[in-house]
Each structure stands twice: as C-alpha cells, then as structure tokens.
Structure 1
Amino acid sequence: MSQSQTARGALLWHIGIWALFALVIAVLPYIFTSSSSISMMSQMGVFIIFALSYNMLLGEAGMLSFGHAVYFGLGGFFTLHAIRAVNDGVWSFPLELMPLVGGAGGLAFGIIFGSISTRRAGVTFAMITLGIGSMVESSANMFTDFFGGESGISGNRVTDVTLFGFSYGPSVEVYYLIGAWTVIAAVAMYLLTKTPLGRISNAVRDNPERAQFVGYNTTIARFIQFSLSGFFAGIAGGLFAIMFEIMTAPNVGLVQSGAVLLMTFIGGVGVFFGPIIGAVLVTYMHTALSGFSEGWILYFGLLFVFMVMYAPGGIAGVLCVHAAPWRAGHLWRLLPGYLLALVPALLAIAGLVAVVEMGYQLSLAYDPSSPIDLFYMEVNATSLLSWLVALLVLAVGIAGVLGAARVVRARWAEVNRSMQASGAKT
C-alpha cells in the first residue's frame, strides 16, 4: 500500500470517527427523552469542551493549572452581558454565535494572565495560576457591576436575534446548540494537536530543555497554548451561561477549577478522548450521586486518589494499554483474571459505601437511629452489628481484589511473553 493510500485511509478513519461522534450527539435525545436527561447531556457537552480545553494545558503542554475556571467563568459572564445587551436593544448578535463572545473573553484574559504565568513552568506556574484564580474569585464580590455580587447576574436566552429561527426556550433546542458547538470545538482542538504548535507543545511538555536547545522558544509555545486554551474554556463558559441563564462567583472559583482537573485526570491526561470520557463520567456521577448521598464529594475524592495511585493514565490510559493485546488476539486471556476480580471489587465498593453512608448518618442526621436504605435493605447506623458487617464486607472485598490482582499480573506476564515471542509490540 502506498503512502498516499495510507494517508487517505487514515483521513477517512478520522472523518468516520468524528461523524459517528456527531451522530451519537444527534440521536441521544431520541433515546433519553426526559427533561432531566436532556439537561444532563447538555451539561456533558459543556464540560467536554471545558475538559478538552484543560487538556490543552496539562495533557498537551504539561502545564498544571489550578485556575482554569477563571476563563470558563469570565467567558460565561461576558456572554450573559452580551445577551442582556441584545435583550435591551443595545446591539444585535445571534444567540448561536454568543459562545464566541465567551471565547473572546476567555482569550483576552488568557493573553493577559498567560503573559505573566507562562514565564515560569512546573510548580511555580501552578502556584501562579492558583493565585490568579483566588484573585479573580475574590474580585467577584468587589466588582459588582460586572459580576453581580453574591447573587451573580442572570439573563434571558430567548431573543429575537437568531440565525435559524429557533427560540431556544425548550431544553432540547439548547441541547442541540450545545451539541453543535461541542463537535465544532472538539474537532478544532483535535486539529490543533496535529499542527506544528501541537507538536512543539508536546516537545515542551516532554523535554523543555531539549526543545529550547534545538531553537524553540518554550515560553512563547506555552503562552500561545495557554491563550488558546482560555479561548475554548470561554466557549464552554458561554454555553454554560446560555443553558443556565445565570453566572455566579463560584463559576470562576477554585472548586470549578478542581472539577475540571478531576474530569481530565480521571478520563486520561494526554489522550485526546480521555477528557471526553472524564467529563461524561464525572457529570453523570455528580448528577446521580448528589441525589443519592450527601457524601458524593467524598466519593469523587476517593475515585481521584484511586486513579492517581493505580491508573495514573486515567480510563483512556487503561483502554490504550489493552490495545496491543487486542490487536495481537490475546485480550481474551486477560478476561478470566478480570472476571475473578469483579465480585470482590463489588463487595469492596458495597462495604465502602455502607461505611461512608452510616458515618454521614451518625454525624449529620437529625435522628441517627432512623434506618437508612442501602442496597434495598434498611440499615441502622447506630447498630454495632451493622458496622461489623460493613467492615467485614469491605475487608473481604479488599482481600479478594488483592488476590485477584496476582492472577491478573500473571496473565499479563503471559500475554507479554506471547506478544514478544510473536514479534508484536507491547
């Protein structure tokens, strides 16, 4: 096969993947028709863009930022002010393009703050972004004309100025607007990874000294990547503002910055589709767990610690590790070990959930002796027997997972030897 045919095949493959991505977004409302599902999927689209913009920093250029929500939040505030101006008749601008206003706001402040923060790298850069994030969050209560004080600012997305004649009052119309921008922004960020800027950013991430030695200005590369990341974060903030019609100080705060870090790391840093997985999973878990338990933040923290310790490449990294055995036809040899670990893993999760929920019941409930529903059973948090059973289930589950881990490692060793013997890449 010639090089041109190979390139054409790769191009068609990528076009097919993105077409499938757009198709999935288009048909989801026909599968999940409830208003709550559509709202949750809209949030997923917003946070996919936000997480991908953060991956431009951490995954592509190796810049750990603790203040990325600044550009997300400012983009949302600028968008809402623009919508209010349209409603007041001050200017005319279609709602479909309003996310570009947010992107422009994120880009502007990305240039301003990036010109300062990107002069340093590593821990120093992270501390600068932390300081900038704290400064902007505290400024929200000082500059009330722009931020609206503690109550924030609100607006009405239903305007007469649109490109396609939709009112964008119904949530499904907002979903398709967000979905269209999700595809556009994701494709744009993916194409950026294939440009010289993307390659230079990877070089700066992997070995900045060597990149500088061969003639690249690492500061300029970080600055451009930082500014473009702010642009896409601003687009996400603009879509968030259109969806919820309100922006408040926490939208630029450290909690929001921590959330996008969580999404990106859990999904997989450095793998392009990783943040997409992380944004979908974290948004779903947040929506599901916040209605199930008051300790949902604790579960997120435990998940993050687990991923850092045992799967630092995130979910996408785990999937990529299995690509070579899949291509070599050896993936089936790993399944028995995984199936063996499944039951004890579920036991460990059940025991952990029981301990956490009973702990919250004892510390926060008005009447701790009232039973709580766990796994279709009523559990009394004040009963010593309930605690003993929960701790026993947790201990048995952990012991079973540790035992199954040895089997999994042995299976992996066999698969690696087989692939090496057959000349396959590991």
Structure 2
Amino acid sequence: MIDLRLLRENPETVRASQRARGESESAVDALLTADESRRHAVAHFEGLRAEQKVLGKQVATAKGEEKTALLARTKELSAEVKAADAAVTEAEVALRAAQFAVPNIVEGAPPGGEDDYIVLREVGEKQPLGLDHLELGEKLGAIDMERGAKVSGSRFYFLTGPGALLQLALLQLGMNQAVEYGFTAMITPSLVKPESMEGTGFLGAHASEIYHLPADDLYLVGTSEVALAGYHRDEILDVTTPKRYAGWSSCYRREAGSYGKDTRGIIRVHQFDKVEMFSYVALEQAAEEHLRLLAWEEELLGKLELSYRVIDVAAGDLGSSAVRKFDCEAWVPSQQQYREVTSTSNCTTFQARRLNIRHRDEEGKTQPVATLNGTLATTRMLVPLLEQHQQPDGTVRVPKALQPFLGGRETL
C-alpha cells in the first residue's frame, strides 16, 4: 500500500499515477476520505478517553451531589468510549480497504497501455522462420502435450527425456549464477496463506488467475515472489547490504481471460517452473537494484545465446505493486515476434507496508524496506532455446553454458 503521508501532502502525485495507469482517480478521493474519517474517529476516541481519565481522578476526591453527578457522567462516558472505540475499528477496516484499492505510484514508466512500451535495446539477430517449439519438441521426444491434456486437461504437458533434462539444466544454470552473485538459494512453498498473497498485491485485479483451495484457505503461487516476500513478514531486517534470495518453485496460473491465446505449446500454460530473484533493500537503493536485476537477467540470456530485446513496460500494463517494470523478450522465429521470458519489477515499499517488513535508518527509526523481483530462468525459455538453436538436420544445438549440466551433450 502507498504511504499515507505522501497522499496527504501531495495527492496530485497519486492522481497522476492513476491517470498514467489508465485507472480511475476516484479511488484516490475515496482513500483521502477514509484517511480523514479514521483520523477523526481516533481523535474523538482519544478525547473521550482523556476525559474519562480526568473524571476518574475527580470522582476519587468528590463528595455528595458532585460525586453523584460525576458518577452519572462516568457511566455515560463509558458507553461513549465503547462506541468511539468501535467507530475507530470500523474506520480502520474502511481505510485498509481503500488503501488496497490504490496501486503503487508509478515512477519513470511510460504512460499508456499494453502496446505503449518503449524498446530500450535489441540484442542479437532475428532468425528466419523455422519449425515451432512444439514440432521440435515432439520430434525430439521432449514435449508431450497430448498426454498432458489426457492426464490434467488443456494447457498441461509433460516434459520428457531431453525436454526434462533441458529444463533442469536451465534452472540449475540460473540458480548457479544467482548464488555466484550472493543470492541465497531457496526452495519455496507452492501453497501460501491469504496474508502472503494479499500482501504482495496478487488478490486485486488478477485474483481470478490464482488457484485457491477453499477447504484449507491456501493459494497456489504463480511465482515464488509471494513466498519470498512473506518470508520476512513482521520482521525488522538489516539491509545495510541488499538481502537477496533466489527461489526455485513450481508456479500455477489459471490464465483466466486468456482462452484462445497461445493455446499451442508451452508459451501460456497452467503450471511451470521458475527461478526467481528477490531483493530487500533500503528505498534509496531500489532503483539501482532494479537495474542490477535486469543486468543479471540479460547475462543469463547471453549465456543461453538467445536473441532478445528489453522493453520498458507502460504504466497501464504494470502490476498493482510495481512502480516500474522491465521485460526481456526473446525472439520466437516461428511467430516472427518477441515474447516475454523474464520480467523485473521495482515494488518500492508497497509490499513491505502490507507485510510489515522494516529496517532501521541511520537515526535508528524503523522504515519500510523496498522489495524487488526478477525472473532468472523459467520453463518458457525452452521455446526460444529450441527454436533459435534448431539446425537443418532436425537437431537442436545446446548452448555451451548448458552443456555441463547435460553431461557435455552438444546437441539434442
């Protein structure tokens, strides 16, 4: 959630962010009203409590009719205090709901929607049209969509033989790189409590994409970002140097509203695996850390010898927690277009405020930390790996960086 002090001092900044996102400014006005109502309710309650304390002292020394009158007022005041306390609770619930309705404040992202991104750079050459990843995967015995659908339904699949080994190699390469740069390797839970899902901002506009288990009130994560953010909930951290984790997990997405899109192959599926980078830093370090995460993503794409581009995602296409996001999109020859394979977001203090994760500043005061996330390796990368490295004889070349994880194998 956003900083209420910033909202009070400069509400136009928040309204401008809403406009950039293409969202209504009415949520800002509703939050201002809820904030004022809560502060008024608290002031009223505290005034009554102060009067109650004064009366208590007066009753102790009063006599006769004065004491009788004071006792009568004490009884009235007790009821008023109880009602005022309930009003504060109600106002706090309303304020929390209003805060959760306002996304993070955009910083530096271009305005507009999904198609208004800015291309920052293109790396490598665009390969000509060739077999798509599913044709290649089936011929290599690497992907089995038919049996995936038979066992689990549409948009499920088996990675078999070389496909399974290639994914394991990819994820191991990503994890090894992360550890080399000081990340702590993590195998994270796939099921999380509502507090973690809500705290990371995934129960808002995109709640329909999440699998929920009502009997246990648990959610299947769509990224280990959720578990890694919840890992330090209600803690005070030392972020003198950034605290970095690399989470390996299976991820699950319902892909609600995407029916008919990318139904062929493994570009848009319900289950996949991913190594996700996650950083906790002081707010003033967040922008610099964001660029570091992007650089590490690009380094891995370079090791995979993939052609790709980097885009600065427009405000209207940001998740509610992000102030800015960079995507790396790999070239997919069969589609003759770029497709997203990594994404890194700067969430500033938005998630930490919800999850109560803080650090101590130079004066010893507690402040919310900033959180950032970035994909390092994921199942979808198999698509450009197969397509960009296909050879005329039907084999697929294995990039040198992956060969040690595949027993030295140079081709699939």
Fold-level similarity (TM above 0.5) = no
Q: TM-score, normalised by structure 1?
A: 0.22
The structure with the greater share of residues assigned to helix is 1
Q: TM-score, normalised by structure 2?
A: 0.23
Q: Which entry has the higher C-alpha Rg, 1 or 2?
A: 2
